[in-house]
Amino acid sequence: MPDMDPETTHTEPAVDEEASLFSTMDLLLFSVIVGFVVYWFMSRKKPEPIPEFKKLDTPTPTTRETSFIEKMKKTGKNIIVFYGSQTGTAEEFANRLSKDAQRYGMKGMVADPEEYSMGELSRLSEITNSLAIFCMATYGEGDPTDNAQDFYDWLQENDDEDLSGLNYTVFGLGNKTYEHYNAMGKYVDKRLEQLGATRIFDLGMGDDDGNLEEDFVSWREQFWPAVCQHFGVEASGDESSIRQYELKEHTDINMNKVYTGEIGRLKSFEVQKPPFDSKNPFLALVTVNRKLNKAGDRHLMHLELDITGSKIRYESGDHVAVFPTNDSALVNKLGQILGVDLDVVISLNNLDEESNKKHPFPCPTTYRTALTHYLDITHPPRTNVLYELAQYASDPKDQENMRKMASSSPEGKALYQSWVLDASRNILAILEDMPSLRPPVDHLCELLPRLQARYYSIASSSKVHPNSIHICAVVVEYETKTGRTNKGVATNWLKNKLVTDNGHKSTVPMYIRKSQFRLPFKSTNPVIMVGPGTGIAPFMGFIQERGWLKQQGIYGLMSSNLDKKLMNELVIRLERPCCISAADIRTRTTSTRRSSKTRTIRYSCLRDSEWCIISDFLC
């Protein structure tokens, strides 16, 4: 075999050799990544340990007791007095009835139906000799008061409720000048009977247009003997004064914890938080305060309240509620007569520790603040106040007269009517005319009713003035039979809310109360606006809102000396006044009440117009 050529017998090594797994570049990149990861793990910041906090022993927040049955059992009460109150009178009557119970060997408590479960009425029979009393005021057009609305709804919705074990009686508060006189009292009385409850005494009805106090006292004098007869108990005969609150004077207290006029939350006037209501009013800035009439004895004022940023909304026909303060001169006189330091910080604490109402007004506070912001010192005191204060009269004759006025005898009623009501004597006038009467100021503060908000029909439309609320009112001031000058609390307070350029800003605590007083939904419906003695304030808002309606006329609006600004406001917004021109309105107004011919013109106009306003605002 021939030898193979050496040049032709060698193999090719480059193609057949096994290639390397990683290239040099791959190894370099891998080394960098591994190094970075190792560095990150080694150098990263260790997580800080979460500190362990010791759990604080905070007290469990107290919840309001909603079971009046359990509260009555716990405190040994057998009479509960519910109240539906808008201005405080029904609540005042409820307190008086509750205190009366003690004189008849029974124990009573006062309850706001808004704070309790009224479905428990069926359980009242679990308490021996139990009785529910309802003091129910009627508000508006036969409506329940705000705090009785839920109770009213419950009565309407629960047809299957069995109240056969409930003993009850009702006293209603109303006004005969309204169409639905005492509607709420009548409804509660009838509805409870329909649900099986037992009426132990007839429905009582008080008329605020007459003598509400006399109506209540007369009913009350007959009511308690009926209670005694029904339950077989006798009066204890103890007619001594029964204190509900005890006085505590604060000699060393942080003044930041003292109320200075706030209605609800402490410092609420310094830090305003919506929503705003009766317990949390908004401090509105007064931007306009002007007198509208040029002459005459009366002062007709127009105010504008700025509600920018408050989130308050209103509609034409609603009411604005304002919280006035008493005249400082009256407060100072009370302090002088009673010989007290009005700037002492005090608290009046309820002797019944289980009561939801711990104080008669926000405490701690000063006597000055209480008499200025919280207590009504200008209204003639009711008979129960005279009865309680009689013990402090050093003259036996004064004691006798005061107790007589507090009685239900014909002589006592006549004396109270003539000496207190007809003479318009407030508590200051009584103290001035009875030098022997010098009660302790703390007991006086306990007895006086709360100073209530005043309601005014809003004289503007939110569509025209979304950030402003207008008030149109007459300042009240008159001379009494004793020669004193009495001034309306709210109107004189508002009158002094002046707009100045010196940096001082006048404010008014206020909130909105909704009303059912509305224009027809259909704007093409003819409307006649009648204000018999109520004024034109709500109509101002209506006119602003419906100023485009045609064929309108104004009659009986106001006296001849009324400021032209208000007249122009009305006339300009009426598209086509009927029968008489704007120039003739004031002349014809005055003669309307003197001439039958003018009245004929007025009635003729009413037949032809879609809009007419009849008002006795400034007659």
pLDDT band at 575 (very low <50, low <70, confident <90, very high): very low
Average confidence (pLDDT) over 473-480: 95
CA separation for the pair 373, 385 (Å, rounded) = 20
Segment (H or E) for 96:
helix 89-103
Whether residue 191 has pLDDT greater than 60: yes
Whether residue 61 has pLDDT greater than 80: no
Average confidence (pLDDT) over 272-294: 94
**437 beta partners:** 393
CA separation for the pair 481, 466 (Å, rounded) = 45
Closest CA to 577 of 552, 596, 599, 556: 552
pLDDT score of 28: 67
* Residue bearing tokens 């509208």: 292
3-state secondary structure at position 285: strand
pLDDT score of 3: 46
Tokens representing 83? 């109240």
**Is the pLDDT higher at 236 or at 582?**
236
pLDDT score of 19: 46
**Is the pLDDT higher at 328 or at 353?**
328
Closest CA to 407 of 205, 183, 170, 213: 213
CA separation for the pair 542, 547 (Å, rounded) = 8
Whether residue 223 has pLDDT greater than 80: yes
pLDDT of 513-558, one tens digit each? 988 888 887 777 777 777 655 567 888 888 877 753 443 343 333 4
Average confidence (pLDDT) over 210-219: 92
Whether residue 562 has pLDDT greater than 80: no
pLDDT of 375-385, one tens digit each? 999 999 999 99
pLDDT score of 237: 62
- Greatest mean pLDDT among 233-237, 328-332, 354-358, 602-606 lies in 328-332
Q: Cis link prior to 532 (omega < 30° from 0)? A: no
Average confidence (pLDDT) over 563-586: 41
Average confidence (pLDDT) over 268-282: 95
CA separation for the pair 479, 366 (Å, rounded) = 31
Average confidence (pLDDT) over 596-613: 40
pLDDT score of 40: 63
Phi then psi for residue 298, to 5 deg, are -90, 155
- The answer to whether the beta carbons of residues 141 and 178 sit under 8 Å apart is yes
Average confidence (pLDDT) over 164-182: 94
pLDDT band at 184 (very low <50, low <70, confident <90, very high): very high
pLDDT band at 55 (very low <50, low <70, confident <90, very high): very low
| Dihedral Cα 606, 611, 617, 619, nearest 10 deg | -30
pLDDT of 129-159, one tens digit each? 999 999 999 987 899 999 999 999 999 999 9
pLDDT band at 348 (very low <50, low <70, confident <90, very high): very high
CA separation for the pair 585, 292 (Å, rounded) = 17
**Whole-number mean pLDDT of the chain?**
82
pTM for the model stands at 0.78
pLDDT score of 27: 67
**Is the pLDDT higher at 47 or at 41?**
41
Distances (CA, A) of 32 to 23, 27, 39, 305, 563: 15, 9, 10, 75, 93
Average confidence (pLDDT) over 343-371: 95
Which of the residue ranges 248-257, 295-304, 491-500 would you say has the lowest mean pLDDT? Answer: 295-304
CA separation for the pair 535, 556 (Å, rounded) = 11
pLDDT band at 593 (very low <50, low <70, confident <90, very high): very low
Q: Which residues contact 614 (CB under 8 A, 6 or more apart)?
A: 528, 529, 530, 531, 532, 555, 556, 602
